[in-house]
A and B are shown apart, each in its own frame.
Chain A
């Protein structure tokens, strides 16, 4: 930090005196030896603490990424695979249902009770039983 005199602003005598007084009266006390040692120790302790934190950061980041990956894949581990290999609910139980069973089970949702006549879709065995028990 080399300086040459012409780099300072030009002040008249009164301004120069004012600035000098200001600088003299607004200054901290010089550091005592004990205070200087305490300041240096605090600086080194802070520096070492930050260096430790800097060393730990990559390890913590790795753990965080591993946890994130585990969380994202955890739910998928217990979900049954879809027939096409993609994620989703297994529909195999529903697809094994016979057409007449499906219609019997779900047709009520599509039509009103009054319009419904199950006789037409029931197999012969069921019709025989129905005739005995239901006086048809």
Chain B
């Protein structure tokens, strides 16, 4: 029974590791170490709850909800820490040394995302960057679909205004 559980967990980690890491990375502002910490904690919680979920789909929905919540908690904790330590000067931490593409542009995108409300950022990243459907995000965030759509609309408007040059870009700097 324990062996079966471990095998199931191995498969689950293998199939969700990359997407969960990418999602966490985007939600925590492009910090590799923080993203890995977030997904490790989420996987541990998934391991404990594995027996309660018979269907892979419901476990996955629950797991991504945990990832989003862990990332949210991490951002909140970081904000408090930086406020108190007085070290925050508008710079985003570590800004993904291992990411591909232009680091300055990446930092600008992270900063623009950080200016959105948590719900707007989560909805935007989940739907437009990670390809979740509105219905799935509604289940993940525990909010009505209409609210998710409203968050998406406002987030898109704010980002297009903040990153106007990227909005007008016709693909010159594609990676």
Q: B-contacting residues of A (Cβ < 8 Å)? A: 1-4, 7-9, 11, 14-15, 17-19, 21-31, 36, 39-40, 42-43, 46-47, 50
Contact = CB atoms under 8 A, between A and B. Distances in A.
Given A27-B99, A28-B98, A31-B21, A21 B106 contact: no
B17 A26 contact: no
A39 B99 contact: no
A24 B175 contact: yes
B134 A22 contact: no
B interface, over-half SS? helix
Contact of A21 (B25, B40, B110, B171): B171
Interface string B118-137: 00000000011101111110
Contact of B106 (A9, A26, A31, A47): A26
B133 A39 contact: no
B4 interface: no
B100 A4 contact: no
A66 B45 CA distance: 32
A1 to B, nearest CB: 6
